[in-house]
């Protein structure tokens, strides 16, 4: 009887933690540095860098904003975008910005995984973008 209670308690704990994967409401922050031909893209007043995020995804779901679950906008003059409040899990990040050397509108994406041991950390990542 005691063993059954322990097993049930363990199962409930596992289920409750597994239900909270992916999405907002966590403590992880992904700091995205968009790079075009190796050069970091800075945020502009008229066209700030934007990172669109799809939860539970490893492939690009499409390129229109309605295909994504949330988005994060960079601050003018900064060379990165903070994607805050994420939980552990798999995500697809799709970034758009303006390379002022052209000027070129650039875009690109990548799958990102936040591991359980990174759930309260700030994670830096490069995102390659192209015209």
- pTM recorded for the entire structure: 0.83
Q: What is the pLDDT of residue 5?
A: 66
Q: What is the pLDDT of residue 20?
A: 61
Q: What is the pLDDT of residue 49?
A: 95
Q: What is the pLDDT of residue 30?
A: 98
| Topology (CATH) of 23-129 | Immunoglobulin-like (2.60.40)
Residue 50 backbone phi and psi in degrees, to 5: -135, 135
Q: What is the pLDDT of residue 7?
A: 67
Q: How many residues does the chain have?
A: 131
Q: Which residue's entry shows tokens 């960079």?
A: 74
Domains in the chain: boundaries: 23-129
How far, in Å, CA of 28 to CA of 76, rounded? 23
Residue pair 29/82 in contact (Cβ under 8 Å)? The answer is: yes
Per-residue pLDDT tens listing for the chain (131 residues): 666 766 666 656 555 555 567 899 999 999 999 999 999 999 988 889 999 999 999 999 999 999 999 999 999 989 999 999 999 999 999 999 999 888 889 999 999 999 999 999 999 999 999 99
């Amino acid at each position: 009887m005691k063993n059954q209670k322990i097993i049930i308690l363990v199962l409930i704990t596992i289920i409750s933690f597994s239900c909270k994967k992916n999405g907002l409401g966590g403590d992880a922050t992904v700091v995205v540095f968009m790079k075009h031909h190796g050069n970091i893209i800075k945020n502009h007043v008229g066209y700030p860098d934007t990172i669109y995020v799809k939860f539970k995804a490893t492939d690009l779901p499409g390129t229109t904003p309605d295909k994504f679950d949330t988005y994060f906008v960079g601050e003018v003059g900064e060379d990165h975008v903070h994607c805050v409040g994420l939980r552990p899990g798999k995500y697809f990040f799709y970034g758009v910005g303006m390379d002022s050397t052209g000027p070129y509108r650039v875009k690109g994406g990548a799958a990102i995984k936040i591991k359980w041991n990174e759930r309260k950390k700030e994670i830096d990542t490069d995102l390659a973008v192209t015209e």
